A and B are shown apart, each in its own frame.
Chain A
Amino acid sequence: MDDIQEILEDFLVEAFELIEQIDQDLVELENNPEDLELLNRIFRVAHTVKGSSSFLNFDVLTKLTHHMEDVLNKARKGELKLEPQVMDVVLESIDMMKELLVAIRDSGNDTDIGMDISDICSRLDAISQGEEAVAQEVSEPVKEEPVKEEAKEPKEEKEEEEIDYSNLSDDEVEAEIERLLKERKEEDKKRKAAKKSQNKNQTQEVVQEKKPEPSTPKPSQPKVEKPKPVVAKPKNKAPVKKQAASVVEQTIRVEVKRLDHLMNLIGELVLGKNRLLKIYDDVEERYEGEKFLEELNQVVSSVSLVTTDLQIAVMKTRMLPVAKVFNKFPRMIRDLSRELGKSIELKITGEDTELDKSIVEEIGDPLVHIIRNSCDHGIEDGETRLLKGKMEMGTIELKAYHEGNNIVIEIVDDGKGLDPDMLKSKSLEKGIITEREADTMSDKEAYNLIFKPGFSTAAQVTSVSGRGVGMDVVKTNIEKLNGIIDVDSEIDKGTIIKLKIPLTLAIIQALLVGVQEEFYAVPLASVLETVRIPLDEIYTIEGRNVLRLRDEVLSLVRLSDIFGVNKVYENNEHAYVVVIGLAESKLGVIVDTLVGQEEIVIKSMGDYLKGIEGIAGATIRGDGRVTLIVDVAALMDLAKNVSVDITADTQTANKVKESSSDYFVLIVDDSKMDRNIMKKAMSPMGITIIEATNGQEALNIIKSGEYNFDAVLIDIEMPRMDGYTLASEIRKYSKYKHLPLIAVTSRTSKSDRLRGVESGMSEYITKPYSPEYLESVVRKNIKLLAE
């Protein structure tokens, strides 16, 4: 079972690799129909797929590829001219082949999807027969006994033996399997050897092709095309442009799962490194000037250096050239230009630019939509272009390049450009924006309207675009990658769409911000800037808080309002605003503190907490605590629903106290006897008394917000946290600014009293005291009158 599965997997991997290249080759072939090398390559793809699929009993696929092979074989021998009409049929059949392969990958067979290939087969036949009468006799036997003619010896045997399988006993079948596997391995070995020599001897590539093609002994092509990967190229992981005299590039195929695992391990290591750095900082402070610090420093820095290098190295192994995505566009442009009746040229640059595999997989769809849009709406038809004094042929440029920690993909067309006024009126029509919004909208903002769901400028829905979903998909996908979209346009000059995407997803740079007592990490890729502003610069427009930042009006929202953070500290006169940008929108987020920039590893919070709005994941900080990572896209959505006026003073209405037991007093004293004395003294008042044995415990009780205390009686000398510290800690919280703190102590000196006042005590009772005195002081402070 596993062995068959393995063979099947091998087949699929190989087949998908082959068809990846084939599209581009085919389009190129149309321009250079004479290029034999190209033709050979394409022929071999059909041939290889056919051979393997017949071995694996995929009849539908075998039949289809067989017919394709016929046509291509003719073309290769020069018996058939590849007219565009012929190419259309060939391309269509290749699409079907792809579909079948996908079906096989998903369901394990090619019959489930019930694809009808008879039509395409007969069309392929028509081409191979109808066009060429001379070749009739050659192709006829081929069709009747395809296997004998085309397939190689081992396959031939297999086909024959297949019939016998049903008659064999189990043991015999097993023996047969073993034999077949051995054969398969032999084949593999041969192929590998062939590949190697092929790389060494690029020029003789055709002669040494792994599967000899007796029917067409091709001498090496003298015509030197621009260097291209050969058909049986090693896995594209490390893309190396092979030069004529290239060195042997050794590659091995590695499961993505293993790379992912490796990446996870590196993530752990980065966390460990962060932790080590933090500890080093602490140690440095404590043992300043000690000799061992120097050594520790060396170790820490070398560990951190190696970790960073390792991280980069592993990241590189996951990198793929963006060509993997770009390769499918020449074909797409070709189809589109035929369909739309426009002539469009596609220029690709920077296809060697590498980025993380997971990102490569995600950017395909957005790019398809953008390019389709450019073809359909951007580029005008030939006549219009000529009238405007442009070249008849429209151009779309696809560029990829690195910029810092990001990769930028630019899609530039020289079409009619975006008209901001038209965009606005269309959006008004569709009810996407209001009239007022339209009036205040800048050109740049107007361009971004194209990303709104439901927006479409197309007068009619074509098969290409106009449904108003495409660009919305672009936005969501790019947001998912934490990318930024930038649109620029000039009427009649063209449009530039820039996608800025972080290089990798697993380990990111983040800005750590503090909100009250909590910390959050904001992906740095989304942070545009941070500013500190006085609160009175915040204006309110239509119930929304905004800030004028240079020439822009920025919506503001407090992070604590979005995440419902307990408010414990006093508001400052100033606020820190983190300006975040994602795709095409911006938002100002108010936080209490900026902690700094840190490299963080994104960890999932598991299925249980997956998909919490506003949270993208969690990370572990140097101190071992978990910090949540803000999901910038969701944050922007959440911000729309927050309507808390930042400038308004937050006054919490006190609950009305009905009976004296609604009053809460906290006693903090390490001596049980002292606590009992105080309790006794206050018992006549009938109030609720809570006890704590030291400052730390008291602070925790207060912080927990379980009780709403009306007064706290504090002993000064206590373990873990003394009374002074406790008082000053309590005073840090805004809502306890006026909470009566009564020191109950035997320390009577003036300096003690002074320290008490400094730390925020409101009363000072010296031991010993009479119960009545204590009671009256407490009564006075909690404003409970004697009955």
Chain B
Amino acid sequence: MNDQLNKVLHKQQKQINEPERVVDDVIQLVGFIIGNEEYAIPILSIQEIIKPIDYTRVPEVPDYVLGVFNLRGDVIPLIDLRKKFKLESVKYSDDTRYIVLKGKDNTAGFVIDRLTEAIRIKKDRIDPPPETIHSESGMIYGVGKRENSMLTILKVEVLLKRDF
């Protein structure tokens, strides 16, 4: 009896909230610079972008985890993407920003050198990542081809995953 009940109720539920989805083949990204390369992150996973604020060091973590900072009452980890990408760290400039990414069950801030622009790119212009150096950590979602440049699109879930 339960099964039948469920089926019926399920069907009703379905009828109520079945929004027609349009297939979207353009994704929107936010581009930024770390070192000499341009990277991008899907705009929908970005909670906000803020100017650098004070953070508190946390002991016993890898060096790319700078610490935690207070984002309007939430304690959020801060990760230095330069250090994560094994680049030399530099002093913060006026362009330095924290990008706060929001994942399914994690939120974290990432230090980037500077923002570039919001980018719309067709899905078919994105190639899978080359099977080389970076693939080991699987941080790259794909490489976006633009008129005169390449764009490394990062995987948000992987960035937000604790790997230590």
Q: A4-B9, A605-B75, A626-B70 are in contact. Are A612 and B108 (CB under 8 A)?
A: no
Q: Are A607 and B5 in contact (CB under 8 A)?
A: no
User: Which residues of B, 80-112, contact A by the 8 Å Cβ criterion?
Assistant: 91, 105-108
Contacts of B77 in A (CB 8 A): 605-606, 608-609
Residues of A within 8 A of B54 (CB): 625
Q: Report if B160 contacts A (CB, 8 A).
A: yes
Known: A606-B108, A607-B162, A620-B75. A626 touches B61 (CB 8 A): no
Q: Give the CA-CA distance A615 to B57 in the complex, in Å.
A: 12
In the assembled complex, 15 residue pairs joining A and B whose CB atoms fall closer than 8 Å, in A order, are: A1-B10, A1-B13, A3-B9, A166-B4, A173-B8, A518-B57, A565-B59, A605-B58, A608-B77, A612-B61, A614-B59, A618-B68, A626-B56, A626-B69, A626-B75
Kindly list the 4 A-B residue pairs having the minimum CB-CB distance in the complex, ordered from nearest. Answer: A563-B59, A1-B9, A626-B56, A618-B75
Question: B73 — nearest CB in chain A belongs to which residue?
Answer: A268
Please classify how large the interface on chain A is, using the bins under 10, 10 to 19, 20 to 34, 35 or more: 35 or more
Residues of B within 8 A of A620 (CB): 70, 73, 75
In the complex, which of the residues A4, A271, A608, A615 contacts B160, with contact meaning CB atoms closer than 8 Å?
A608
Over the window 1-37 of chain A, the binary record of Cβ atoms lying under 8 Å from chain B Cβ atoms (1 yes, 0 no) is 1111000000000000000000000000000000000
Beyond the given A614-B60, A620-B75, could you list 7 further A-B residue pairs with CB under 8 A, ordered by the A residue number?
Answer: A57-B2, A606-B77, A606-B107, A608-B77, A608-B108, A626-B55, A626-B69
Cα separation A618 to B58 with both chains bound (whole Å)? 10
Q: Which of A162, A605, A613, A701 has the most CB of B within 10 A?
A: A605
Interface residues on B, range: 35 or more
Contact status A604-B2, CB under 8 Å? no
Give B73 Cβ to nearest chain A Cβ, in Å.
6
Is B58 in contact with A612, judged by CB distance below 8 angstroms?
yes
With A1-B6, A4-B9, A170-B8: A624-B70 Cβ-Cβ less than 8 Å: yes
Interface flag for A123 (CB, 8 Å): no
B8 contacts A603, C-beta separation under 8 Å: no
A327 on the B face (CB < 8 A): no
CA distance A652 to B107 in the complex (A): 39
| A174 contacts the other chain (CB 8 A) | yes
Interface set of A (CB-CB < 8 Å, partner B) = 1-4, 57, 162, 165-166, 170, 173-174, 177, 268, 271, 518, 562-565, 603-610, 612-615, 618, 620, 624-628, 701, 704
Alpha-carbon gap, A535 to B31, bound state (A): 55
A residues in contact with B10, CB < 8 Å: 1
Residue B151, interface by CB 8 Å: no
List residues of B whose CB falls within 8 A of some A CB.
1-2, 4-6, 8-13, 54-61, 65, 67-70, 73-77, 91, 105-108, 160, 162
Distance of A628 Cα from B69 Cα, bound (Å): 11
Residues of A close to B91: CB separation below 8 A: 701, 704
Known: A1-B13, A3-B9, A4-B9. A606 touches B59 (CB 8 A): no
Decide: B1 and A603 in contact? CB cutoff 8 A.
no
CA distance A615 to B75 in the complex (A): 14
- One of B2, B11, B74, B162 near A603 (C-beta < 8 A): B74
- A606-B76, A607-B105, A626-B75 given; A518·B56 CB < 8 A: yes
Contact of B70 with A609 in the complex, beta carbons under 8 Å: no
Cα-based distance from A714 to B17 in the complex (angstroms): 69
The answer to whether B5 touches A626 (Cβ under 8 A) is no
B110 to chain A, nearest CB (A): 11
A612 pairs with B5, CB closer than 8 A: no
Q: Is the CB of A609 within 8 A of B8?
A: no
Which chain A residue has the least Cβ–Cβ distance from B162? A608
Cα separation A607 to B105 with both chains bound (whole Å)? 7
Q: Which residue of A lies closest to B6 (CB)?
A: A1
Q: Determine if A4 and B162 form an interchain contact, defined as CB atoms under 8 angstroms apart.
A: no
Closest-CB distance, A590 to chain B (whole angstroms): 16
Q: Which of A2, A166, A606 sits near B106, CB closer than 8 Å? A: A606
B105 touches A604 (CB 8 A): no
- Pick the most buried of A564, A605, A609, A624: most chain B CB atoms within 10 A of its CB: A609
Contact residues in B for A165 (Cβ distance below 8 Å):
1, 4
Residues of A within 8 A of B2 (CB): 4, 57
* A625/B56 in contact, CB under 8 A: yes
With both chains docked as a complex, state the minimum distance between the C-beta of A5 and any C-beta of chain B, in angstroms: 10
Which B residues lie within 8 Å of A564 (CB)? 59-60
A173 touches B70 (CB 8 A): no
B6 touching A4 by the CB < 8 A rule? yes
Residue pair A609, B65 in contact (C-beta under 8 Å) = yes
The answer to whether A605 and B68 have CB atoms under 8 Å apart is yes
Q: Given the complex, which residues of A lie within 8 Å of B6, measured CB to CB?
A: 1, 4
Chain B residues in 8 Å Cβ range of A701: 91
Q: In the bound complex, do residue B13 and residue A606 qualify as a contact, i.e. CB atoms below 8 Å apart?
A: no
Question: Which chain B residues border A268 with CB–CB below 8 Å?
Answer: 73
A615 & B58 in contact (Cβ 8 Å cutoff): yes
User: In the complex the two chains form, is A612's CB within 8 Å of B60's CB?
Assistant: yes
- Given A626-B69, A626-B75, do A173 and B59 touch, yes or no (CB 8 Å)? no
Bound CA–CA A587/B146 (angstroms): 61
Whether the pair B58, A628 counts as a contact (CB closer than 8 A) is: yes
What is the minimal beta-carbon distance from B103 to any residue of chain A, in angstroms?
A: 9
> In the complex, which residue of chain A has the Cβ closest to the Cβ of B104?
A607
Complex Cα distance, B92 from A701, in Å, reads: 11
The CA-CA distance from A518 to B59 in the complex, in Å, is: 11
Instruction: Determine the chain B residues whose CB is within 8 A of the CB of A618 once the complex forms.
Output: 56, 68, 75
A606 and B8 contact, Cβ closer than 8 Å, known pairs A615-B58, A625-B54: no
How far apart sit A626 and B70, CA to CA, in the bound complex (Å)? Answer: 6
| Closest Cβ–Cβ distance, residue A369 to chain B (whole Å) | 32
Q: What is the bound-complex CA distance between A57 and B5, given in angstroms?
A: 13
Whole-angstrom CA separation of A166 from B3 in the bound complex: 11
Decide: B75 and A2 in contact? CB cutoff 8 A. no
In the assembled complex, the Cα of A564 lies from the Cα of B13 at a distance in Å of 56
Taking CB as reference atom, which chain B residue is nearest A517? B57
Q: How far is the CA of A628 from the CA of B12 in the complex (A)?
A: 50
Chain B, residue nearest A161 (CB): B1
In whole Å, how far is A445's beta carbon from the nearest beta carbon of chain B?
30
Identify A606's interface contact among B56, B70, B75, CB under 8 A. Answer: B75
By the criterion CB–CB under 8 Å, are A57 and B65 in contact? no
Contacts of B73 in A (CB 8 A): 268, 271, 620
Q: Are B70 and A625 in contact (CB under 8 A)?
A: yes
Which residues of chain A are near B105, meaning CB under 8 Å? 607
In the bound assembly, the distance between CA atoms of A605 and B56 in angstroms comes to: 12
Q: How far is the CB of B91 from chain A (nearest CB, A)?
A: 8
Question: Inside 8 A of A615's CB, which chain B residues have their CB?
Answer: 58-60
Among A173, A562, A607, A610, contact of B4 (Cβ-Cβ < 8 Å): A173
Closest to B56 in A: A626
Q: How far is the CB of B58 from chain A (nearest CB, A)?
A: 6
Q: Known: A1-B13, A57-B1, A618-B75. Contact between A608 and B58, CB under 8 A?
A: no
Once bound together, how far apart are the Cα atoms of A174 and B69, in whole Å? 53
CA distance A454 to B112 in the complex (A): 51
Chain B residues with Cβ below 8 Å from A166 are 4
Q: Which residues of B contact A170 (CB under 8 A)?
A: 8, 11
In the complex, residue of chain B having the shortest beta-carbon distance to the beta carbon of A180: B5
The reply to whether B5 and A173 contact each other, CB–CB distance below 8 Å, is yes
Q: Is the CB of A609 within 8 A of B5?
A: no
Note all chain B residues with C-beta closer than 8 A to A607.
105-106, 162
Query: From residue B18, how far is it (CB to closest CB) to chain A in Å?
Result: 16
Shortest C-beta distance, B16 to chain A (Å), equals 12
Q: How far is the CB of A476 from chain B (nearest CB, A)?
A: 21
Cβ–Cβ < 8 Å partners of A174 in chain B: 8, 12
A564–B57 Cα distance when bound, in Å, is 10
Docked pose: A401 CA to B5 CA in angstroms: 50
Task: Kindly provide the distance from the CB of B13 to the nearest chain A CB, expressed in whole angstroms.
Answer: 7
Q: How far is the CA of A154 from the CA of B100 in the complex (A)?
A: 57
Bound-state CA distance A237–B77 (Å) is 37
Cα distance A457–B24 in the bound complex, in angstroms: 69
